[in-house]
Amino acid sequence: MINSSNNNSILVREKLLSYRGRKFGRTLSKTKSDILNRVKKTNSITVENIFSKNIFTSSYFPLSLEIGCGSGEFIVSQAIESPEKGFLVVEQYINGLASLSSKISKNNLKNIKFFPGDITKIFHLLPHNAFDSIYILFPDPWPKSRHHKRRIIQKEIIDIFSKLLINNGILWFASDDREYCRFALLHFQNHPSFKWAAEKREDWLKKPIIWADTRYEIKAKKRGISPIFLKFIKTKHL
């Protein structure tokens, strides 16, 4: 299932991507640190063993990918709802991984694996046409114009999303930052592989009923901000 197209052009393009995010927050308690280290032994993946047979068997495909999991509320609820499906999380923020690991341990989840690092480091290793959904929920908006190159939504990355998703696969982008939503919408509408699924105003103001509220979504609502949920469908290959 590994994508073998690890060529120089991909690596050169990868170096041009400037996606960034914080890696550390408050020092973890001994309990959280112990749980994280224990769960990493069974549920984390490395560059060396990504998608080997002991990571995800074929029965778990197609997979779902979440880039940045916050505290893990969303992806854990999805994994509990669909135990037959595989979920891959990519998160470099150690405190977020600790929270995710606690939830994985509490619910004894076997169908979530996570890569503790930067998504741009494994883009070239992810299998093409292996995901039916990608979730980018409340990413750092990097509001200053000079920092826009650090956003996860970039033309080069959308090209990769197109290759990872199966036909009619779905990419969800959610944010409480209106400007970032406009930025993302423009990039996806200008891309030949994706179609915005919204037909009326309610389509981008409401999320699917089965979704769990994330920590960032709850914070936005407490500030009186209604998050925006953008659904894009992959309609054709590049």
Minimal CA–CA distance to 64: which of 76, 49, 46, 52?
76
β-strand pairing of 165-175 with 228-234: antiparallel
The rounded distance, in Å, linking the Cα atoms of 152 and 65 is 14
Active-site residue (options: 34, 118, 132, 140): 140
Minimal CA–CA distance to 157: which of 73, 65, 40?
65
With helix as H, strand as E and coil as C, how does 78-113 read? HHHHCCCCCEEEECCCHHHHHHHHHHHHHHCCCCEE
The rounded distance, in Å, linking the Cα atoms of 161 and 154 is 10
- 140 is an active site residue: yes
Minimal CA–CA distance to 97: which of 46, 43, 19, 134?
43
DSSP three-state, residue 180? helix
Residue positions annotated with a catalytic role: 140
